[in-house]
Amino acid sequence: MRKIRNVSLISIGCMLVAALSLQAQHKNKPLHIAQQGSFAVGGTMLREAGDFDLAQPLEASGQTYHGDHAYVFYQVPAKARSYPLVFLHGAGQSKKTWESTPDGREGFQNIFLRRRFPIYLLDQPRRGEAGKGMVESSIKPTADEQFWFTQFRIGNYPDYFPHVQFPRDSASLVQFYRQMTPNTGSFDAQVVTASVSSLFDKIGTGILVTHSQGGGPGWLTAIANSKVRAVVAYEPYSGFVFPEGEVPAAIASSGLFGALRGTAIPLADFMKLTKIPIVIYYGDNIAKEPTTVWNKDHWRSGLEMAQQWAALLNKYGGDAQVIHLPEAGILGNTHFPFSDLNNVQVADELSRWLKQKGLDK
């Protein structure tokens, strides 16, 4: 017993030293940024008929409106690696998702800059600073945050899941709620895809990292643009694309979005996804079997669809992997593994994969 206790104390000591050194590494070293800036990319334009009249400048005649572009903020660190990481947020989110975490720690933006990757953070068309969309929209404040707390698997409100990797203080939770930002036009996967593909045309070969609803446009971008060298998807749900005739049966779920269905695309398009490495991560507190606990069951259907999808890609010669983080010993993650309390561990897991695939040159 005495010995075991000592060993434990030593391990705790080592963990503390490791934690402190990580903290020191992350908090104290300045970032060396060779270049940073922002721009709009993609989008379309309308021009009203007639001529612009300088004396009637509030008449639409002859005037233009540009919209449906993405907004991009980029940073290139000194001694950068070859492939940039292009980050596409999920539903209700903006590029903020990848920045500081709700409790103020470094998010994937800083973590991967420190690991010498150029980073591109997008606000997709009709979101955040890319607010000019080509469609009309109305926005209404709607009290729904306890729903999102639950849907995003922080817990079953008001309970946090035991050992969940989300801070328990109310200030962090408020930051999490405030990082949501509304659509300024309906979500359109084709519009998002077009803008992300335009970004790859501009910057060249890179790695696309998506979250949640960004997953669908992510697959479509990789099909549309061969400059997408790999895709990393955190918790995709909708938008899995299967060859015509091979769409699997819908997966029933007690989740609020009902049964999950795949989307049919031509086999030739599907085959393009077999040419690049793909990794998909899911966090914790996802049901293994159907259940009436709707949040756990919602993500069960997503995880199952991802597994079927990866299996089919691999059957066709692809290189797709689904990593359910708890099975890799990484426990307690919400729908936002990249900003959870253990996000350095989650980043380590991604770094390991990038290295394994030769994507960190």
> What residues between 118 and 137 interact with a copy of itself by CB under 8 A?
123, 127-137
For 215, the enclosing helix (H) or strand (E) is helix 215-224
Binding of a copy of itself at residue 168 (CB under 8 A)? no
CA distances from 345 to 9, 155, 166, 269, 360 (A): 22, 21, 14, 34, 17
Task: Output the smallest distance, CB 145 to a copy of itself, in A.
Answer: 5
Query: Would you say 160 or 177 has its CB closer to a copy of itself?
Result: 177
Binding of a copy of itself at residue 160 (CB under 8 A)? no
Query: Would you say 145 or 348 has its CB closer to a copy of itself?
Result: 145
- The token pair at 299 is 């993500």
Task: Output the smallest distance, CB 195 to a copy of itself, in A.
Answer: 11
Binding of a copy of itself at residue 307 (CB under 8 A)? no
Query: Would you say 156 or 321 has its CB closer to a copy of itself?
Result: 156
Can you say whether residue 208 is alpha, beta or left, with left for phi > 0 and alpha for psi between -120 and 50 degrees? beta
Sign of CA dihedral 123, 124, 125, 127: negative
Query: Would you say 141 or 245 has its CB closer to a copy of itself?
Result: 141
Task: Output the smallest distance, CB 326 to a copy of itself, in A.
Answer: 23
**Among 56, 189, 36, which residue's Cα sits nearest to residue 125?**
189
Contact 80, 32 (CB under 8 A): no
Contact pick of 46, 250, 252, 267 for a copy of itself (by CB under 8 A): 46
Contact pick of 1, 2, 4, 138 for a copy of itself (by CB under 8 A): 138
**Among 150, 239, 223, which residue's Cα sits nearest to residue 231?**
223
Query: Would you say 17 or 34 has its CB closer to a copy of itself?
Result: 34
Count residues contacting a copy of itself (CB under 8 A)? 77
Query: Would you say 144 or 201 has its CB closer to a copy of itself?
Result: 144
The residue range among 36-44, 234-242, 305-313, 330-338 that interacts with a copy of itself, by the rule CB under 8 A, is: 36-44
Contact pick of 1, 4, 143, 268 for a copy of itself (by CB under 8 A): 143
CA distance 192 to 190: 5
Binding of a copy of itself at residue 340 (CB under 8 A)? no
3-class SS at 42? coil
Site for a copy of itself in 178-207 (CB under 8 A): 178-182, 184-185
How many of the other CB atoms lie within 10 Å of CB of 8?
10
Burial of 145 (0-12, 13-18, 19+ CB in 10 A): middle
Binding mask 250-289 for a copy of itself (x = CB under 8 A): ------x---------------------------------
The residue range among 33-41, 197-205, 319-327, 341-349 that interacts with a copy of itself, by the rule CB under 8 A, is: 33-41
3-class SS at 164? coil
Q: Which residues sit opposite 121 in a β-bridge? A: 73, 87
Binding mask 210-249 for a copy of itself (x = CB under 8 A): ----------------------------------------
**Among 48, 49, 55, 183, which residue's Cα sits nearest to residue 127?**
183
Binding of a copy of itself at residue 170 (CB under 8 A)? no
Contact pick of 12, 14, 22, 174 for a copy of itself (by CB under 8 A): 174
CA distance 109 to 12: 29
Binding of a copy of itself at residue 336 (CB under 8 A)? no
Query: Would you say 52 or 316 has its CB closer to a copy of itself?
Result: 52
Binding of a copy of itself at residue 342 (CB under 8 A)? no
CA distance 297 to 2: 45
Burial of 60 (0-12, 13-18, 19+ CB in 10 A): middle
Strands 277-282 and 319-324 come out as parallel
